[in-house]
Amino acid sequence: MRVLFTSIEGNHFHQMVPLAWALRTAGHEVQAACNAQLVDTVTHTGLTAVPIESPTLWEQLDDFQKEAISLFNEIGTSKQDPSQATWEDHLAYENMVVPALYQPLNNDAQIDQLVETARSWQPDLVIWESFSIAGAITATAVGAAHARLVSGPELALQMSTRGHFVRHRDQQPEPLREDPTAEWIDWTLERLGSDRRFDETMLTGQWVVDTRPGSLRQELDLPTVPMRYVPYNGRCVVPKWLYEPVERRRVCVTLGTSITSEESERFRLGETLAALFRSLAGLDVEIIAALDPAQRDALPELPDNIRTTDFVPLNELAPSCSVIVHHAGYQTKATADLHGVPQVVIVGYEWVSEDMGEEYEKSGTTLAVSARDLTAEVLREKILRLLDEPSYTERAGELRTEIRAMPTPNEVVPVLEKMTAEHRHGA
């Protein structure tokens, strides 16, 4: 069969690479549609890229739209119970999230090019991730089956909010049953010449390929194909020092690229890291600080037990670590979980809400700290707690065992073949 992958951003695409190659090595044809500026990211994996001429993720989002991302993450979580919100509250949210988030990330130019490609190539299955609703629209327009690749709590939060909206909507008199999401997608499908119309699977996928272990997965009453997370770090080289014996407990600090320079300044991240490293100088631990050049250059002279590096493949580093401190990026967290490493996650910034941190803490392997409460003292206390309290390491080991019992991408391919045959409806 032919399989088309769609994603909105390079790091999101990295999560799709192992499954794409599993399908390829099973004999299926695979293409990956991406922003034209991400073509190298795709082709470096050995996969075939389909360039889409569209602004990059950050070029499409202004300050108002970035604010909507934070609201999107927070609504439907424990701090703000959406079940207590009114119809007017839910409708206001839908009226905001469609023009501020869904449409910019899935704009007309992007959808038109995807559909043009799909009508020519005729994929049997479209696999899309996160907010790449354009993938679901494209599949619907050309009659392909479609599945959503899930890699974190965002689907559960989104569906919780959407479920409460639908419940309130259906209680309204029929002439007042507004649905901005359905109206946008219906208008788009009609513009594309399709006679099909919106249904809820266009937000969830006809089924979900979920890389989270069952103990961390919220039941959403959706057809689900569990799949083990397999790390993909892009092109990388293992440094020689990583083969040296580890003589002390090792703590990795990595901040990825999700925290912007503006947020780093607002939360005084550089000062906090410098103070944290000084506070850890007297401990019998080794700190591996994987920082970008700007983060590293902002640091003063560091204690002897701190090693800084621009980049090290986390999949190779994690097995030697006792704790990993990071920005709550899913790939970082999933890699740490895969290797049974307790974690401190920084939350409460643009893409990662405090409530997502609360979800992560439920695993018993992770402690969260809000960026607005971030100090060296708070980070040090949480690191020491993970190092000194064995329950976190024990629970991380249990989670590792659970993850490694999940089907690999190769093992889920026959399931995808079967579900594609069941859901493909023809153009």
Query: Beta strand pairing status for 2-6 and 125-129?
Result: parallel
Higher-pLDDT residue of 177 and 219 is: 177
Are the beta carbons of 42 and 34 closer than 8 angstroms? yes
Q: Cβ of 343: how many Cβ atoms within 10 Å?
A: 25
List the beta bridge partners of residue 145: 125
Tokens of 229: 């997370």
**Averaged pLDDT, 257-265:** 58
Long-range Cβ contact pairs of 97-101 (< 8 A, separation 24 or more): 97/68, 97/71, 97/72, 97/180, 97/181, 98/180, 98/181, 98/184, 100/64, 100/65, 100/67, 100/68, 101/65, 101/68, 101/69, 101/72, 101/131
Backbone angles phi, psi at 235, to 5 degrees: -70, 125
pLDDT single digits (tens) 343-398: 999 988 766 778 788 889 999 999 999 888 888 999 999 999 999 999 999 999 99
CATH number of 2-228+406-423: 3.40.50.2000
Half-sphere exposure of 136 (CA within 13 A, CB side): 25
Between 327 and 1, the more confident residue is 1
**In the chain, what is the greatest distance between 2 CA atoms, to the nearest angstrom?**
70
pLDDT-derived band at 320, boundaries 50, 70, 90? very high
pLDDT at position 78 over 50:
no
> How do 366-370 and 48-52 pair as beta strands?
unpaired
- In DSSP terms, which residues pair with 99 in a beta bridge? none
Mean pLDDT value of segment 310-327: 94
Q: Which residue has the tokens 């799909």?
A: 118
What does the pLDDT average to over 123-128? 98
Task: Establish whether domains 2-228+406-423 and 240-404 are of one fold.
Answer: yes
Query: How far apart, in Å, are the Cα atoms of 127 and each of 27, 333, 395?
Result: 17, 22, 32
> How many Cβ atoms are within 10 Å of 97's Cβ, its own excluded?
22
Name the band, by pLDDT with cuts 50, 70 and 90, for residue 220: low
What is the length of the chain?
Answer: 427
Question: Is residue 139's pLDDT more than 50?
Answer: yes
pLDDT digits (tens, 9 = 90+) for 199-214: 999 999 999 999 999 9
Give the H or E element holding residue 316: helix 314-317
Q: Which residue has the tokens 């409530």?
A: 355
Q: Is 288 helix (H, G, I), strand (E, B) or coil?
A: strand
H helix count then E strand count, the chain? 21, 13
Cβ(27)–Cβ(54) below 8 Å: no
The correct CATH number of 240-404 out of 3.40.50.2000, 3.10.20.90, 3.90.1150.10, 3.20.20.60 is 3.40.50.2000
* Interatomic CA distance for residues 152 and 111, integer angstroms: 25
* Strand ranges across the sheet with 343-347: 306-309, 285-290, 249-254, 323-326, 343-347, 366-370
Q: Of 218 and 128, which is predicted with more confidence?
A: 128
C-alpha closest to that of 408 among 151, 213, 228, 212:
228
Per-domain residue ranges for the chain? 2-228+406-423, 240-404
Token couple for 343? 């974690």
Prediction pTM value: 0.91
Query: What is the predicted pLDDT for the residue at 2?
Result: 98
281-287: average pLDDT: 90
pLDDT at 317: 96
Distance of CA 397 to the CA centre of its chain: 23
Q: What is the pLDDT of residue 76?
A: 39
Confidence class of residue 107 from pLDDT cuts 50, 70 and 90?
A: very high
- Determine the pLDDT at residue 334: 95
Contact 343, 336 (CB under 8 A): yes
Report the C-alpha gap between 38 and 16 in whole angstroms.
14
Nearest to 73 by CA among 85, 84, 86, 82: 82
